[in-house]
Amino acid sequence: MEQFDVKITVVRKLSVRDVFGSSPPKISQEVEATCPRFKEGDTFISEKGMCPQGFCGWAFADIQRDIAHLRFGGSYPWMREEGVAYSCCTDGLRPVIFRLERIR
């Protein structure tokens, strides 16, 4: 069975305000408005299904099943581009959205 690498691109970082509007939950002052680990446009390559160096381990755990699906040749019927998916981390205050793309 052919296996692929997966390119991960940071598409969008949502803030607490993006998620909750004008009624955000009470959070610590130390919490940054958006995820401090990524910048929009950052790219990473998951080789052999592994977490790329410098990538957030929590976010990788959240998107890993989509990476595995693409890695082994899967696609999603609702996506017009074969071998592409969008996934996000599960940070309920400031999630990050990723574009996943199967590459050779």
**Residue recorded with tokens 């696609």:** 75
Which stretches of the chain score pLDDT less than 50?
A: none
pTM of this prediction?
0.91
Domain ranges of the chain: 5-103
pLDDT tens digits along 71-82: 999 999 999 999
DSSP letters of the chain?
Answer: ----EEEEEEEEE--HHHHHTT------TTS-SS-SS--TT-EEEESTTPPPTTS-HHHHHHHHHHHHHHHTT---TT-SSTTEEEEE---SSS-EEEEEEEE-
At residue 58, the pLDDT reads 96
At residue 30, the pLDDT reads 67
At residue 33, the pLDDT reads 81
CB 6 within 8 A of CB 71: yes
